[in-house]
Structure 1
Amino acid sequence: MSGDDAAIRNLVTRLAQLADGGDLDEYVDLFTADARWEMPGANLEGRESLRAGAVERRAAGNVGPGSNTRHVITTQVVTVDGDRAFSDAYWQFWVNTASEPSVALMGIYRDRLVRTDRGWKLAQRTISYG
Structure 2
Amino acid sequence: MSGADPVADELAIRNLIARMAHTVDRGAVEDYAPLLAPDARWVMPMGDPAVGPEAIMDGVRSRRAAGSAGPGSGTRHTITTTLVEVDRDSARAWSYWIYISTGDDPRILMNGLYTDTFRRMAGRWVFAERISSLD
Query: Moved runs in structure 1, 4+ residues, more than 6 A?
Result: none
Q: Which residue number corresponds to residue 3 of structure 2?
A: none
2:76 aligns with one of 40, 57, 70: 70
Report what 1:20 is aligned to. 25
SS of 1:66's partner is coil
Question: How far is the alpha carbon of 1:39 from its aligned partner?
Answer: 2.4
CA RMSD of aligned residues (A): 1.2
Structure 2 partner of 1:35: 40
Question: How far apart in 1 are the matches of 2:114 and 2:100?
Answer: 16
Percent of pairs identical after alignment? 41
TM-score w.r.t. length of structure 1: 0.95
Unaligned runs of 5+ in 1: none
Alignment of 1:101-116 (within 5 A): 101-116=106-121
1:90 match: secondary structure: strand
TM-score (norm 2): 0.91
Structure 2 unaligned blocks of 5 or more:
1-5
Matching residue of 1:87: 93
In 2: Cα distance, 1:68 partner to 1:118 partner: 35
Could you tell me how far 1:121 is from its partner in structure 2?
0.2
Of 46, 54, 60, the residue aligned with 2:60 is: 54
Code of the residue aligned with 2:50 in structure 1: it is L
CA distance in 2, matches of 1:27, 1:99: 29
> Who is 2:124 aligned against?
119
Aligned match for 2:8, one of 3, 9, 27: 3
Offset of 1:21 from its aligned partner? 1.9
Question: Equivalents in 2 of 1:74, 1:98: separation in Å?
Answer: 21
C-alpha displacement of 1:61: 0.2
Q: Distance in 2 between matches of 1:71 and 1:21?
A: 10
Contact 1:21 1:63 in 2 (8 A): no
Q: Which amino acid aligns with 1:124?
A: E
Q: CA deviation at 1:65?
A: 1.2
